[in-house]
A and B are shown apart, each in its own frame.
Chain A
């Protein structure tokens, strides 16, 4: 839905066979870069975004005019130091910030809507791999990302075992749990139940399922926070009123906050993309691709892994991150792991959590020194 001129795009000529069986070609991948690639081309970090992220990692997003989603972690002198590293991030296919997705037109010039092929995490990383050729990078210094970004990290190193020196999956899982799928389904149902969704053809009908998408975002947003964090920030505080109003307006601050989160999300995100990307997450089960043995996914790589989880993350809890550590240890891989203490829930990886940011920085900088 965003076709602004500020979006850099790579047109992938090479046909890409998707997991669903269909093949796409001549399709766009929208990307952004930060810092500069050195002459040895050994300082590139590929960052993968989460469900509602995009290629605008840091600085001001030229489309939304808001701070990039990982501004705390990426930038000059930050954990991922753009004075030192060349950071590349692209919008996932299925997304809505310029990469090939359901708001694009099919070869007959009709907007895809739900006729866009169902994509997977595997398809996303296979599409993004083309960026390495584009920049002439033989081997990345690192790949990283949180949440769905972490899933792409795991899939990428499994598909391309010798293409990154270090691998940093954050607050993620190797297999979407029943609870994860359940929350995503709730979001999808909210969208498709909105009468303005029109079976996905809202653009041609000049409508927008904004209410449904906002509810989807509100429900998801709760899963990104912790009970303790919510209680400390909002408690039972009332929203600009002295007492309860005995009605259904937003009496409580938490209600108002969620409504706000829902409404701003609608301005920047496409409802069909939300369906497609959540589906990709639900289909993600890396072990299943290797007959149930997750270790096999990493058997061919010599990369150095560093896995990070957060104490209050109940969406992708520490144990699911540790399962990846266990799979790596069982094949003698080089893997470090730390669980960061934080009350900020799953969103911790996006926020100013000093222990997290210093661990990330130290791991990267020390690994780069050893290069």
Chain B
């Protein structure tokens, strides 16, 4: 399991009710179910991935987060997880609002466009950056709204969303992000993980 999922799992206490939005093949869901006795649900747009989840015995709803989150009642989950998908929505702000309505807390991870390798790539190669967390070409990337850790940090603050914890991830190392180290973390982390609440 990738390190990002381990960090997410560490943020969630045992026996909670969790919704994994864009749960893909259910790797994180299965881990949370087996290791933390989590009552876990998934929402996934890909039919193939939904089938993989069913084969793992996971409860998944085939659907689109931009349209299908509205069926869940307010605060019906302890945590709602959205891993590296926010930038792929037509309207990320609306999805973020929905995550925070449905979940008592939300865990959102974002691939960091401020990561030094990304900046380097654009600065010296002059072409759209391709990295481990941003593997696609400009013409086939699902990402519509790239942002940096700094952008996201300021965005949630501006929406009066409370940040419980924000972590910078670089390979196997995770470290706390705060106002004073934001610039440095924004340069050296390829992934940002935010535990937020509204």
Binding site for B on A (CB under 8 A): 304, 306, 325-326, 329-332, 334-341, 355, 358-359, 362-363, 366-367, 369-370
Contacts and interface: CB of A to CB of B under 8 A. Distances in A.
Contacts of B178: none
A337 B56 contact: no
A359 B73 contact: no
Given A329-B71, A338-B62, A359 B57 contact: no
A325 B59 contact: no
B72 interface: yes
On chain B, which size bracket covers the interface?
10 to 19
B89 to A, nearest CB: 20
Contacts of B72: 329-330
Nearest to A341: B47
Interface of B: 41, 47, 50-51, 54-63, 71-73, 76
Contact of A336 (B55, B60, B73, B76): B60
A355 B47 CA distance: 10
B interface: dominant SS: mixed
A interface: dominant SS: mixed
A365 to B, nearest CB: 8
A306 B73 CA distance: 19
A325 B55 contact: no
A366 B56 contact: yes
A339 B64 CA distance: 13
B62 A337 contact: yes
Given A337-B63, A338-B62, A358 B57 contact: no
A359 B51 contact: yes
Given A335-B59, A336-B60, A326 B71 contact: yes
Contacts of A337: 60-63
A370 B62 contact: no
Given A304-B59, A334-B59, A335-B59, A325 B54 contact: no
B59 A336 contact: yes
A326 B59 CA distance: 14
